Structure 1
């Protein structure tokens, strides 16, 4: 995995752990509060747990989106259109349309070689993008046969090494376990306890 992706995941995992640590510290503080009844403690633990769940849900979704955005930024830096005048933009669109019509690796290789012989770098790049999306490795390698696209290949290597986020595993990594004080309570019981008024430290109003 690249250092950028490593740093991104490490920062995200630190935030995930901070939510768990905060919940544990809050539960410990509640348990050490001598003036609270069992029910009041249960209510406060329930509120802390639901708050941690909400924070973790935000982290789960934002973390996944950030990884997806980083992946797309890498591809855009390699294959994205860089702008220019109207004629350039039209040429880029035509190149993308031609590349999109390629249906197999052999045809991609033939078209790439022709584009390179003609000095058509825009078409060559578009074909390489089509090849990369279809995992036609030989075509992508030939795009850089002379080393002229080394910077782009480095970005593609970074893209290949990005972690593949399995939704089920990702969700599990963002799970918040119920504190033992409420471990036998059902979700609706936790919600009810969290909303109860224990302002006097005793029974709910």
Structure 2
């Protein structure tokens, strides 16, 4: 996954340079300047959007791989498949992490590894919010599972260190501020302006 901050600085730096270059030109009309700036902005915006999507895909792939290693991904058939589905359904009913950890420990005592695993997987899904905040109580369930399973602790640690590109903390690295020339224009309007067939022209075209 690319260095998000460095990537943002490169794209934003180029946008600033392009915009300042257009602003300083005296050989084109004000409308041509707006079009040129709209094109520069749209190009930078789209590049960061594409970068975010690529990072999201890489993050999801990495997370899925780690979760498979942590919680198991072997195919189950017959009664085993039914047992796993039942365990997942039961685990998803837990909305309180305190109840979940209690059920997890009870399943461990009973030797019900399928249910214990299902509860841990549910806890992992509940542990992180869309803005990246981690709920320590839910995370505690997953931690207990990892610590009680041989070879799982390192995988769990790697999983907790992953950072989603869609969290509040990461979002600023995937967007750029609109140049003042574009005012309060909405994105579709900017796209239409950038897509006009106006030839910027001039002695020193942008």
TM over 0.5: yes
Q: Once the 2 structures are TM-superposed, how far is the Cα of residue 75 of structure 1 from its aligned partner? A: 2.1
Whole-Å separation in 2 of the counterparts to 1:138 and 1:38: 64
Q: Once the 2 structures are TM-superposed, how far is the Cα of residue 83 of structure 1 from its aligned partner? A: 1.0
Q: Once the 2 structures are TM-superposed, how far is the Cα of residue 101 of structure 1 from its aligned partner? A: 5.9
Structure 1: which 5+ runs fail to align? 1-7
1:98/1:63 Cα in 2 relative to 1: closer, same or farther (>3 Å)? same
- Name 1:56's counterpart in structure 2: 48
Q: Once the 2 structures are TM-superposed, how far is the Cα of residue 85 of structure 1 from its aligned partner? A: 4.6
Say which SS state the counterpart of residue 138 (structure 2) adopts.
Answer: coil
- Name 1:4's counterpart in structure 2: none
Structure 2: which 5+ runs fail to align? 127-136
Please say if 1:197 is aligned against 2:198: yes
Whole-Å separation in 2 of the counterparts to 1:114 and 1:27: 67
- Name 1:107's counterpart in structure 2: 103
Please say if 1:37 is aligned against 2:24: no
1:106/1:32 Cα in 2 relative to 1: closer, same or farther (>3 Å)? closer
TM-score, normalised on structure 2?
A: 0.62
Contact 2:18 2:40 survives alignment (8 Å): yes
Contact 2:91 2:119 survives alignment (8 Å): yes
Structural RMSD (CA): 3.9
1:138/1:88 Cα in 2 relative to 1: closer, same or farther (>3 Å)? closer
